[in-house]
Structure 1
Amino acid sequence: MAPDATTRWLASMVPFKSAEGVTAPVVPILATVLGAGASAIGVMEFLFQTMMMAGAFTWGHASDRFRLRKPFLVAGFALAGLGILGMGLAPNFATMLPSRMVMGFGMASIGAVGGALLADLSQARDLGSRIGLLNAVGGVGYTVGLVGGGLVVYWYTDLAPGWLFTGAGLLALVSIPMAVRLVREPDDIAEEDGTDLAYADEDTPTIEVTQDRTYSPFVFVHRPEELSVTRRAAAFLSSIFLVYLSMSAVMVLLPLYLLEVGGGSEAAVFLVFVVHSAVSAFSFTPAGRLADRIGYRTTQVSAMTLRMVAFAFLAMPLFATTGPIAGVFVVVGVSTAVIASTGPATLFKGMPFRERGELSGIFNVATGAGKATGSITAGLIVAFAGFPSLFLLATMMTGAGTMVTAYIAYPEGARF
């Protein structure tokens, strides 16, 4: 897909995602250096995700209300970059915590408004592949950051973690001028080109709720005609909540698991994260295309099942070293690409422009709630029951999300 006015802006995400990749594996390590334990790290990540939840709906609703995407996306880059920079300069955990929360609030805009912007500039029939492209660009940037951070840690073993965050924060701020230059409002593009990119295709299957409001046709269990749209949405979002809860529970303390149980180094931590991120980055676009072709539910259930099996393997002592864990995260990376590509596309199908930002925010609230719950749960479980119990819980939560998704039924003719 050649870059054009509808996709060129994605380049502005690369510096920030690279900065996120540099810092993501080191967040619990930096917190430990600054005096935090596993429970405190779990609380910090809970607050981080809570800020992402609050920000997702706030940014999304505001961008719909003012019918603007660019200012909110730029503001998100600014806050997130300043948050990373603040973490690098923090002298103790008490000052690291608010910076992490600022980062979360800024990242919420990047997810909610960025996703809505891409949906505005896409046709419904290829929405899955376009969401996949969004995630692929972000994944490539994230992977580049992971590789760079891993090399720095490998070459400079005595480097304080704070320096990584300081450099990454400055890198993240590069996204601001790029977004100012590259992001264009959907209405401006539509007016110049004489097209109506800001609205879904006329042939998109929808369910009419009121005279001027439509929703994507996902329905739940056996008698969909008797269920409200709100309940259908709740069924879908509950599965997203469970899947992101389990993923967050595993990822938030994975660096400590690799260091304390697996006997690895900080470079080994980066290696596992690079494997997961690289596989995801190269799977996002194919996953979106596959979902457009065979349906979103089929691809989602398959991906969730793969992730459930992968987490079950992590609970086995045989998989307590870096090599097997990296192998597990090849599978997890593929599932991440599918879930991240199909989830937003399912909700965006058939939605009018004026509601996409808010809906994107609601989706990110569901993912953020799962991540927040998983973060604080992980800290408590590891503190009292150990890592194997954590991985078993993640397996069960992923299985529950898979079952909910498998029982979502869609109207005939809707490829979901």
Structure 2
Amino acid sequence: MSQRVAVAVRNATVANRYRYIPSIPGWFYSFVPFKVATGGSSVLVSLYLLELGGSASTVGLTFALASLASMLGALFWGRLSDRTLRRKPFILLGFASVPVFLALMAFVKTPGQLIALNTVYAFFLASTLSVPIALVLRSVRKHSWDYGIGKFNEVSGWGWVLGLVLGFFLSRFLTIPQLLLTFAAISVPSIFMGKAMVREAPVYINRRSIAAFGNYVVEKARYFPSFILHTNFSLPRELRWFYLAFFLFWVSAGLYFPQMPVLLTERGFGREMVYLALIANSAVAALNYTRVSMNMGENKGSTLGKGLLLRAGAVVTVMMGLFVSPVLLPLALASYALAGYSWTFIGISSTAIVSEKAGEKEKGSAMGTYNVISSAGYITGSALSGALISGVGFGGAFGLGLLLLGGSLALLRR
């Protein structure tokens, strides 16, 4: 075989390899019962707090503490997984935490007990945030990392939506404690499926070398950043204004998301309507994620700007409902849908910008900084939201969120 023919054969082999679409690893589906349970129960903590006598301040504090515990837990379990070179035990730990803590929540009697349980629950549940991504990267070839991460989160995201739909129908017949016990039971199969299907991958993942940031779906009702894979931090000069802008964005998100169920509940709407709003939010995001990702191209900045404008539109929409009470419900549903749609632009473009702006050796640490700053902003916004609503009402809290979004846009343009 001539040298020219050999080169042609090698090039064809490489090309075919990159056109190859890998099959979905079977263990991805072990997350479905787990995601159905966590999605369906995601709204219940807020509603149960209100039923037990809590207020908007209580809900804001609960979300802030849970988000802090989730951030610390993701960093803790991720590093422990790297040190031990084990993935499976931490995934099973997260699976097992769902039936245990949801069942315990069904028997609490005071808001304080529920807050304490939910905070500890968030810490253990965080083992399912960063650790599975490392396992995904060991389950598919390097050139298919984006595909693998995208498919894993697609399966998880639709499981989350299915849980919300199930909660919507069951909430008509069951009390909140009964719903918690139901979702606790639904999550149990994930433990056995994970034990049978997840294969250990005792190989070290160099997190600093991973540039596959863009294709993930954040389906949590809290919109807490869940792609916490990187645990090193840096502050590249090119990203300082970007980080500040996103801190403001996440403070705004913390002022909005935790309090929307409180708003609907206080205005007399039942659990079904809260579930319906969350279904609109999550389903719109999941439906548009791939399309936005494929169409973004090199226009990352304009994609991000469009997402922030859509988020501002979501806040304006719900504020209109505050002043025109008869149309509050349809406007709140539209606001939630817009918020979900906006995240498809914001989530993809922001992580791509961090990856692009950071130096080659700083990609991992730059993403770690992004996650911590985002988390800190959301925690701050959640903690402030309750106090603001108690003092100046929902209009004041959402108005501040709108101003912060404007500040975020201004800093990004700078």
User: TM range, normalised to the smaller chain?
Assistant: 0.7 to 0.9
1:233 deviates by 5.3
Determine whether 1:368 maps to 2:375. Answer: yes
Over alpha carbons, which structure has the higher Rg? 2
Amino acid in the other structure paired with 1:309: G
Contact kept, 8 Å, 2:38 with 2:160, in 1: the verdict is yes
Q: In 2, Cα distance between the equivalents of 1:266 and 1:38? A: 16
**Residue in structure 2 matched with residue 100 of structure 1 by the alignment:** 118
Q: In 2, Cα distance between the equivalents of 1:129 and 1:402? A: 31
**Residue in structure 2 matched with residue 282 of structure 1 by the alignment:** 287
Contact kept, 8 Å, 2:40 with 2:163, in 1: the verdict is yes
Alignment RMSD: 3.6
1:115 deviates by 3.6
**Residue in structure 2 matched with residue 254 of structure 1 by the alignment:** 260
Q: In 1, Cα distance between the equivalents of 2:353 and 2:86? A: 23
1:52 to 70, 73, 76: 70
Amino acid in the other structure paired with 1:288: S
Contact kept, 8 Å, 2:94 with 2:124, in 1: the verdict is yes
Amino acid in the other structure paired with 1:278: A
Q: In 2, Cα distance between the equivalents of 1:116 and 1:238? A: 28
Contact kept, 8 Å, 1:310 with 1:331, in 2: the verdict is yes
Helix, strand or coil at the partner of 2:129: helix
Q: In 2, Cα distance between the equivalents of 1:351 and 1:11? A: 36
Determine whether 1:332 maps to 2:339. Answer: yes
**Residue in structure 1 matched with residue 4 of structure 2 by the alignment:** none
Contact kept, 8 Å, 1:38 with 1:379, in 2: the verdict is yes
Determine whether 1:166 maps to 2:181. Answer: yes
Determine whether 1:143 maps to 2:161. Answer: yes
**Residue in structure 1 matched with residue 104 of structure 2 by the alignment:** 86
1:382 deviates by 0.9
**Residue in structure 1 matched with residue 192 of structure 2 by the alignment:** 177
**Residue in structure 2 matched with residue 65 of structure 1 by the alignment:** 83
Q: How does 1:204-219 map to 2 (within 5 A)?
A: none
Q: How has the CA–CA distance of structure 1 residues 231 and 78 changed in structure 2, closer, same or farther, with 3 Å as cutoff?
A: farther
1:307 deviates by 0.7
Q: In 1, Cα distance between the equivalents of 2:143 and 2:300? A: 12
Contact kept, 8 Å, 1:56 with 1:364, in 2: the verdict is no
**Residue in structure 1 matched with residue 224 of structure 2 by the alignment:** none
Q: How has the CA–CA distance of structure 1 residues 169 and 300 changed in structure 2, closer, same or farther, with 3 Å as cutoff?
A: farther
Q: How has the CA–CA distance of structure 1 residues 398 and 62 changed in structure 2, closer, same or farther, with 3 Å as cutoff?
A: farther
**Residue in structure 2 matched with residue 212 of structure 1 by the alignment:** none
Deviations along 1:138-183, one digit per CA (max 9) or x if unpaired, are 22111111111110112x1xx3211111221232343333333333
Q: In 2, Cα distance between the equivalents of 1:399 and 1:124? A: 39
Q: How has the CA–CA distance of structure 1 residues 379 and 198 changed in structure 2, closer, same or farther, with 3 Å as cutoff?
A: closer
Give ranges in structure 2 of 5+ residues lacking alignment.
1-19, 212-229
**Residue in structure 2 matched with residue 213 of structure 1 by the alignment:** none
1:272 to 266, 272, 277: 277
Q: How does 1:14-413 map to 2 (within 5 A)?
A: 14-118=32-136, 131-154=149-172, 156=173, 159-184=174-199, 229-232=235-238, 235-261=241-267, 263-291=268-296, 293-316=297-320, 317-318=323-324, 321-344=328-351, 363-407=370-414
Q: How has the CA–CA distance of structure 1 residues 297 and 33 changed in structure 2, closer, same or farther, with 3 Å as cutoff?
A: same
1:95 deviates by 1.9
1:337 deviates by 2.6
Q: In 2, Cα distance between the equivalents of 1:8 and 1:296? A: 33
Helix, strand or coil at the partner of 1:50: helix
Report the identity percentage: 26
Contact kept, 8 Å, 1:52 with 1:108, in 2: the verdict is yes
1:386 deviates by 0.7
Amino acid in the other structure paired with 1:71: P
1:257 deviates by 0.9
Q: In 2, Cα distance between the equivalents of 1:348 and 1:76? A: 29
**Residue in structure 1 matched with residue 15 of structure 2 by the alignment:** none
1:385 deviates by 0.7
Helix, strand or coil at the partner of 1:89: coil
Q: Which has the higher contact order (CA 8 A, sep 6+)?
A: 1
